[in-house]
Structure 1
Amino acid sequence: MGKIHSKFPNYYDNHVLNDDEKYNLHLRHHLVREIFKGNFSSPVHNILTGWSARVLHVNSILGTWLAEMSANYPGCTYIGVNSISSDEDGKPFDVEFIKSDIQNEGLPYDDDRFDFIVIRFCAWEYSESEWKDIIKELIRCLKPGGWVEITDFGMDFQNPGPKLINFLNNLTNIKCTKDKNINVVNKYEEFLMETNEMENIQKQTEYLPIGEHGEKLGETALQFAHDNINMYLPRYAKFMGMQLKDIPCIADTLCEEANENNTMVPITRVFAQKIL
């Protein structure tokens, strides 16, 4: 795959995660697994219970998904790829981590290598044209009959308040995201179809409650949202004309509104099978 360049770098490039960020990433994984009642939506159970299936997770920062998959489906080979080095302490024996930048280097594998390929939580990192190239690279490494699955948060919130709507509009219009579609999750089906290499293209969207109306899950999601804003909004603050000192107050305001409005955030999985 030829080099493709994003105008705004991946947050995790050359960044050492602190304990709060690691906790946040683990929590994101658990929230998504809970709302979908499982770690994947593709019909790959029979593939994984067969012998020696090969599974690739792109953007595997901590390896939580791989570790759980390894425990639930032993006998497979699991590989995590990321542009930063992953922490390999305590990793299962059948899990391997590879440092590789899919955006600029492609995947370091031959064609038709994997039975199941997953990429999660990269929506904001790439432009639409970059996403098209990345999807082609995933498909190149996927075996005929294998499945690819993309998971991301969307921006089509249910019951958003006016402050959240204004915040999202500002985020969409700032310079560093102008070449991005922050709601690109709604285009993944189209991108897969355009390759003419995929069939059985499906989409599943679940809504994560943010606040007390979602009981324990919603309260946990509210804390996740609050921490997420405090952690990652500094990345965009200067482009949005914000002072860093104001971010905690912004996080409080947005989360209070979400709790009062019974706001829900969409999480979507798009999955498809490579034509035999």
Structure 2
Amino acid sequence: MGNHFSKTTKNSYTCNSHVIFFSNKLITKNKMDFDEREHLGHILMREVFENNFSSHIHDIISNRDTKILDIGCGSGFWLTEMAADFPKPSYVGIDMLPVFPTSTVPSNITFQQHNLLNGLPFEDNTFDFIHMQSLFCDFTELQWETIVYKELARILKPGGWMEICDPEFEFCNGGPTANRISSAVCTYLRSRNVDPLIVQRHRSLIESIPSFSTSTVYHEKRHFPLGSYANKLGILGGYHISKSCRDILKGPIGKIVKLDVDINDELAREFDSHKTYFYVHRFYVQKKK
């Protein structure tokens, strides 16, 4: 792959989570609402796992030489919180779309717009920790297999850690409305060669990379509740997913499924009556030294 950024064949994203779940119009017309949704999603994931990361990086997180990369950083909430908790490392956030903040950014955070599929503009062995969250629908199966993990391994330092966090895009105990929306999203993603359950392949894909093949791939699976039956976390989770589903139906998914109900009210009722939830996963691994 060379000593500098990988010159992969130029690609474009087949899908993008921002566009699918919010649509371009919603992002550009109401950036504040988009940021609030991103912030709530960040908080919920942090609470589900009880931390912003699971990798074994506590011995380097207070080192000024440590470099941390967040891929698909969105509005940058994970990065800004990490920088506040651990101010010594330097942080870089990249995203396909320019949705990150442009003002009041801590001096140790840099945001850049990049498409990972075109190769990242970083030298080999640059970062001590690479974080990715909720990018399960941003790449096709083939892109995960042939580009994504190879590029992450290239820019990760020997002994550095990589962490991937993704949901299972299927409701457990889902009601009829929730299941219709989930089925429509899965149908749309598969039509674009995107596997909505790619999370089930992450371990094997990581283990297929030579620099990770002899390492232990750690895996945490957590329950993400939706609805007031699960107290505050469930209330916020249900609210977040209901609003996301409402916006999904304003984008390309709305052409697949037609609903004549108030989405927020109907999903809130279903979540409580069915005790709906889904699973989220974290995989983390150390690159061999």
- What is the TM-score of this pair, normalised by structure 2? 0.87
Judged with a 3 Å threshold, the aligned counterparts in structure 2 of structure 1 residues 139 and 233 are, in CA distance, closer, same or farther, namely: farther
Runs of 5+ consecutive residues of structure 1 not aligned to the other structure? none
Q: CA deviation at 1:171?
A: 2.7
Residue in 2 aligned with 1:220?
236
Q: Alignment length, in residue pairs?
A: 272
- 2: distance between equivalents of 1:196 and 1:255? 46
Unaligned runs of 5+ in 2: 1-7
Does residue 61 of structure 1 match 2:74?
A: yes
Contact 2:15 2:192 in 1 (8 A): no
Alignment counterpart, residue 268 of structure 2, candidates 243, 255, 270: 255
> What is the CA deviation profile of residues 95-132 of structure 1, one whole-angstrom value per residue up to 9, with x for unaligned ones?
111111112x2211000000000111111121111123
- Cα RMSD after superposing both structures: 2.1
Pairing partner for 1:192 from 200, 203, 206: 206
Q: What is the CA–CA distance in structure 2 between the aligned matches of 1:39 and 1:10, rounded to whole Å? A: 21
Query: Are the structure 2 counterparts of residues 251 and 135 from structure 1 closer, same or farther at C-alpha, using a change threshold of 3 Å?
Result: farther
After the TM superposition, which residues 1-276 of structure 1 pair with which residues of structure 2 at under 5 Å, given as runs?
Answer: 1-9=8-16, 11-12=18-19, 16=28, 18-85=31-98, 86-103=100-117, 105-132=118-145, 133-174=147-188, 177-198=191-212, 199-242=215-258, 246=260, 249-276=262-289
Inter-CA distance 27–175: structure 2 relative to 1 (3 Å threshold): closer
CA contact (8 A) 1:210 1:259 kept: yes
Q: Contact between 2:14 and 2:138, CA under 8 Å: does it hold in 1?
A: no
2:238 partner amino acid: L
Give 3-state SS (helix, strand or coil) of 1:220's partner.
helix
**Farther-moved stretch of structure 1 (63-72 vs 155-164):** 155-164
Query: How far does residue 61 in structure 1 lie from its aligned partner after superposition?
Result: 1.3
User: How far apart, in 2, do the equivalents of 1:124 and 1:251 lie?
Assistant: 23
Residue 74 of structure 1 deviates from its aligned partner by: 1.6
Residue deviations 1:237-276 (CA, integer Å, cap 9, x gap): 3541437xx4x62443233212211111211111111111
Q: Which amino acid in structure 2 is aligned with residue 220 of structure 1?
A: L
Structure 1 vs Structure 2: percent identity of aligned residues?
26
Q: Distance in 2 between matches of 1:209 and 1:68?
A: 24
- The 3 A distance-change label for structure 1 pair 53 and 169 is same
- Which amino acid in the other structure matches residue 272 of structure 1? V
Partner of residue 3, structure 2: none
Q: Is the 8 A contact 1:175 1:239 kept in 2?
A: no
Which amino acid is 2:60 matched to?
I
CA distance in 1, matches of 2:58, 2:83: 13
Distance 2:243 2:60 in 1: 37
Q: What stretches of structure 1 move > 4 A for 4+ residues in a row?
A: 12-15
- Give 3-state SS (helix, strand or coil) of 1:126's partner: coil
CA distance 1:177–1:161, change in 2 (3 Å): same
